[in-house]
Each structure stands twice: as C-alpha cells, then as structure tokens.
Amino acid sequence: MTWDREGAERAVAAAVADGMDFIEIALLDPPSADADHSRSLLEEAGLSAVCSLGLPEAVWASHNPEGAVEFLKVAIEKTAAMGGLALSGVTYGGIGERSGLPPTQQEIDNVAKALQMAAGYAKKAGILFGIEPVNRYESHLINTAAQGVAMIEKVGSDNMFLHLDTYHMNIEEKGAGNGILDGRDHLRYIHLSESDRGTPGMGTCDWDEIFATLAAVQFSGGLAMESFINMPPEIAHGLSVWRPVANNHREVMDQGLPFLRNKAKQYRLI
C-alpha cells in the first residue's frame, strides 16, 4: 500500500518467497522513499526493480510542465539511488486525468516538453524512462500504443521506451497483437494484467495472441504481472476499482503467476 520501510520489507520478502525475478515499486510519494534502505533490501534479495507512478493533479504535465519535471526529477533520483533500472507508468500525467475533450495541441506540446526534460535527467542518472498508454477512462492524453510511439518520437530521447499494459490494450487496441506490432520498435516493458485487473487467466484477455505477438517481435524486455487487490485510495479512485477483483492475494500468486510463467515458457520468452 505504501513504499515505506515496513512496506518495502514486506513486499521484497513476498517477492522472494514467490520466486519473482524483479519487482515494480509504486513510487507515489518519491520524497518519502528511503532509497538506501530499498537498495539494501533489493541487493540482498537479488531483485531488480522498476519504479512507476502517475503525477499528482497539481503537477499534471499538460498544464504544469515545469512542476511535472520537478516531481519527476525527484522520482528519477530516488529510482537511481535504489538501483532501479527504469522509471515508467503514467509519467506524462495523472491517473484519472480527463478534460472531457480530446487533447489539445498545447497539452501535447506541454507533455512533450516535460518528458524531454525528464528523460534527460533520467539519462544522466543512468536509468531508462518509460510512458504507459492507459485507457480512455483514466486519461484523455495517450490511450494507444500508436499514440505512445508518436509521443516518444516527438520527444526524441534515446532512453525513452514504450510500456504497454494488456488491460488497457483490451479496451483500446483493435486486438492486443496489433498494439504490440504498433509499438514494437520502442516496446521494452509490458504489464500482464487481466481484463478485470484480477487473476491472470481468469478473464477475457487473449493470452495466446499476446504472447505469440511478443514472441514474433522478439520481445526481450520486462514481463510484469499486474493485479490489483489492495491499493491506496487515490489509486483506487483513479482506476475506478470499487470491488475486489480477485478472491485473495494467494489466488493471484498461486494461479495467476504460474499461468503467466507457463505462457511465457510456451512462447520461449523466458
């Protein structure tokens, strides 16, 4: 729920117990993270890490690019200090950011300005910097792989990458495979999330299409299981998650995780 010392210790121990290769850290409050403590935990556990976030409303890049950059700069510094490989997520805006209209050119230009500066900081810090397209109910800015690619190419930073999510793709793409094909040149990371954000393999995502296309484009980036059971209220509100999407934590880990691992092995991705 919170990446404080106690939460970090609990999460890292659980990741080790379930045989994870890496962990994704929700860095919602970057200044409060104890980077040295997190780095020690990760090194001792032999885990890699990726950090992710969405921007608070006060610093949404669409209308406050300078504020967004200052927030992202702290998150980048914390990610690097933890030994993280990348900062990604809705780095271009808020989770639940909707104007009620299509994005304006000014909004797109503001986002590109913020991302270019943030990517520059990330490069100096030695980490990669990603953007994750999310569905229309969570943002009006970047919803598809093609839009994500357009933004990355507009920014032009060589350490930027595309971060896809099968839950969002299930809503926005004309087939998840097409989204993967659209993003293939920049795709380095993917959230493997079920159609209801619950236990992978128990929803309507076409996992064979997803894994077959990843194999076809010779994907070699991060395969991250994402399932929401417990989450901070601000994230639950932004994601519009009002009920449990899985019976419990163990169902996700004992059924969903092996399901995804078996699919990844079947398609020779691991």
Query: Helices 5-17 and 35-45: crossing angle, nearest 10°?
Result: 10
Kindly name the residue from 24, 77, 107, 132 that is annotated as catalytic: 132
The span from the CA of 86 to the CA of 76, in Å, is: 8
Edge-first strand listing for the sheet containing 187-192: 22-26, 48-54, 86-90, 128-131, 160-165, 187-192, 222-225
Active site residue 132: yes
The span from the CA of 157 to the CA of 154, in Å, is: 9
Kindly name the residue from 70, 209, 226, 234 that is annotated as catalytic: 226
Active site residue 138: no
Name the maximum alpha-carbon separation found in the chain.
48
Question: Which uninterrupted H or E stretch holds 41?
Answer: helix 35-45
Active site (catalytic) residues: 132, 226
